[in-house]
Structure 1
Amino acid sequence: MLLAKKIVVSGAVQGVGFRPFVYNIAQQLGVVGEVYNDSAGVVIFVQCTHTQFKQFLFRLKSNTPALATITKIKTKDCQIEKYLDFSIAQSRSGEVATRVLPDASICDDCIDDITDKNNRRYGYPFTNCTHCGPRFSIIKKIPYDRKFTSMACFTMCEKCQQEYQNPNDRRFHAQPNACSNCGPQLQLTNSKGQDIATDKIIAKTATLLKQGKIIAIKGIGGFHLACLADINSAVAMLRKRKHRKHKPFALMAKDLKMVQKYCQVSKAEEVLLSSSAAPIVLLTIKNNTLSSQVAPKQKKLGFMLPYSPLHYLLLQQFDTPLVLTSGNQSHYPQIIDNQQALQELGGIADYFLLHNRDIVNRLDDSVVQVCAENTRLIRRARGYAPTALPFPNGFEEYQGLLAVGAELKNTFCLFTRTNAIVSQHIGDLKTLESYQDFMRNIALYQRLYMTNIQRLACDLHPDYLSSKYADNYAQTNNIKLSTVQHHHAHIAACLFEHGKAIDSEKVLGVVWDGIGLGADNSLWGGEFLLVDYLSFNRLAHFEYTPLLGGDKAQSEPWRMAYMYLKQHKIAADTCFSGKPTAEFDALLKSNLPLNYTSSVGRLFDAVAYLLGICTEKISYEAQAAIELENMANECLTTKRQTAYEFELKKAKNHTHIDIKKLWVAILKDLKNKVKNQDIAYRFHLSLAELLVKTVLQLQQSYTFDTVVLSGGVFHNQLILKLVSELFESIGNITLLTHSKLPCGDGSISLGQSAICIARERKYEQ
Structure 2
Amino acid sequence: MMGVLSKKIIITGAVQGVGFRPFVYKIAQQFDLLGEVYNDSAGVVIIVQCTQTQLDKLLLSLNNDAPELSRIIDISIVDNYQDDKVYKDFSISKSRKGKASAVVLPDACICNDCIDDITDKNNRRYGYAFTNCTNCGPRFSIIKQIPYDRKSTSMSVFSMCKQCEKEYQNPIDRRFHAQPNACAECGPKLQLTDALGKDVVTKNIVEKTASLLKQGKIIAIKGIGGFHLACLASIESAVVTLRQRKHRKHKPFALMARDVSMVKQYCLVSDQEECLLTDRASPIVLLTKANDLLSAQIAPKQKSLGFMLPYSPLHYLLLQELDEPLVLTSGNQSHNPQIIDNQSALNELGNIADYFLLHNRDIVNRVDDSVVRYVAGDLRVIRRARGYAPTSLPLPEGFEECTGLLAVGAELKNTFCLLTESQAIISQHIGDLKTLESYQDFQDNIDLYQQLYETEVKHLACDLHPDYLSSKYAENYAQTNNIKLDAVQHHHAHIAACLFEQGRAVDSDKVLGVVWDGMGLGADNSLWGGEFLLANYLGFNRVAQFEQTALLGGDKATNEPWRMAYAYFKKHRLPTDEWFVDKPVKAFDALLDSKMPLNYTSSVGRLFDAVAYVLGICNQQISYEAQAAIELENLAN
TM-score (norm 2): 0.99
TM-fit CA distance, 1:198: 4.5
* Identity score, percent: 73
1:563 aligns with 2:567: yes
SS state at 1:46 partner: strand
Look up the match of 1:275: 279
In the comparison of the two structures, how many residue pairs are matched? 633
Alignment counterpart, residue 53 of structure 1, candidates 38, 42, 55: 55
What is the letter of the counterpart of residue 232 of structure 1? E
Look up the match of 1:82: 86
Deviations 1:227-278 (A, max 9, x none): 0001000000000000000001000000000000100001110111000000
- Does structure 1 retain, via aligned residues, the 8 Å contact 2:549–2:600? yes
Partners of 1:519 and 1:292 lie apart in 2 by 43
Alignment counterpart, residue 575 of structure 1, candidates 569, 573, 579: 579
SS state at 2:264 partner: helix
1:602 aligns with 2:606: yes
- Does structure 2 retain, via aligned residues, the 8 Å contact 1:217–1:225? yes
**1:448-597 alignment runs, 5 A limit:** 448-597=452-601
What is the letter of the counterpart of residue 590 of structure 1? S
Partners of 2:633 and 2:491 lie apart in 1 by 23
Look up the match of 1:140: 144
Look up the match of 1:394: 398
Partners of 1:571 and 1:59 lie apart in 2 by 73
1:28 aligns with 2:19: no
1:367 aligns with 2:394: no
What is the letter of the counterpart of residue 506 of structure 2? I
Alignment counterpart, residue 40 of structure 2, candidates 24, 38, 42: 38
TM-score (norm 1): 0.82
Deviations 1:517-545 (A, max 9, x none): 00000000001111111111101100011
- Does structure 1 retain, via aligned residues, the 8 Å contact 2:119–2:127? yes
Look up the match of 1:694: none
SS state at 1:196 partner: coil
Partners of 1:622 and 1:504 lie apart in 2 by 34
Partners of 1:287 and 1:37 lie apart in 2 by 51
SS state at 1:152 partner: helix
What is the letter of the counterpart of residue 29 of structure 1? F
Look up the match of 2:192: 188
TM-fit CA distance, 1:288: 2.2
SS state at 1:575 partner: coil
SS state at 1:177 partner: coil
Alignment counterpart, residue 107 of structure 2, candidates 103, 107, 116: 103
What is the letter of the counterpart of residue 474 of structure 1? A
More helix by share: 1
Partners of 2:187 and 2:91 lie apart in 1 by 27
Partners of 2:316 and 2:62 lie apart in 1 by 34
What is the letter of the counterpart of residue 435 of structure 1? Y
Partners of 1:443 and 1:286 lie apart in 2 by 45
**1:267-346 alignment runs, 5 A limit:** 267-346=271-350
Q: CA RMSD in A?
A: 0.8
SS state at 1:573 partner: coil
Partners of 1:301 and 1:192 lie apart in 2 by 33
Partners of 1:49 and 1:487 lie apart in 2 by 55
TM-fit CA distance, 1:113: 0.5
TM-fit CA distance, 1:281: 0.4
SS state at 1:282 partner: strand
Alignment counterpart, residue 70 of structure 1, candidates 56, 67, 72: 72
- Does structure 1 retain, via aligned residues, the 8 Å contact 2:202–2:208? no
What is the letter of the counterpart of residue 58 of structure 1? L
Deviations 1:104-140 (A, max 9, x none): 0110000010000111100000000000000000000
Partners of 1:579 and 1:305 lie apart in 2 by 45
- Does structure 2 retain, via aligned residues, the 8 Å contact 1:136–1:361? yes
What is the letter of the counterpart of residue 258 of structure 2? K
Partners of 2:548 and 2:295 lie apart in 1 by 42
Partners of 2:408 and 2:346 lie apart in 1 by 32
What is the letter of the counterpart of residue 228 of structure 1? L
What is the letter of the counterpart of residue 419 of structure 2? F
Partners of 1:318 and 1:91 lie apart in 2 by 43
Look up the match of 2:10: 8
Partners of 2:303 and 2:283 lie apart in 1 by 19
- Does structure 2 retain, via aligned residues, the 8 Å contact 1:163–1:169? yes
- Does structure 2 retain, via aligned residues, the 8 Å contact 1:272–1:278? yes
Partners of 2:549 and 2:147 lie apart in 1 by 53
TM-fit CA distance, 1:457: 0.4
Look up the match of 1:163: 167
What is the letter of the counterpart of residue 610 of structure 2? A
SS state at 1:315 partner: helix
Partners of 1:492 and 1:328 lie apart in 2 by 33
Look up the match of 1:706: none
Partners of 1:578 and 1:50 lie apart in 2 by 84
Partners of 1:69 and 1:587 lie apart in 2 by 59
- Does structure 2 retain, via aligned residues, the 8 Å contact 1:187–1:198? no
**1:671-686 alignment runs, 5 A limit:** none
Alignment counterpart, residue 622 of structure 1, candidates 609, 615, 626: 626
Structure 1, gaps ≥5 residues long: 634-765
What is the letter of the counterpart of residue 68 of structure 1? S
Look up the match of 1:151: 155
**1:91-240 alignment runs, 5 A limit:** 91-240=95-244
**Poorly superposed stretches of 4+, deviation over 6 Å:** none
Deviations 1:193-240 (A, max 9, x none): 110125300000000000000000000000000000010000000000
Partners of 1:386 and 1:67 lie apart in 2 by 14
- Does structure 2 retain, via aligned residues, the 8 Å contact 1:187–1:197? no
Partners of 1:621 and 1:267 lie apart in 2 by 31
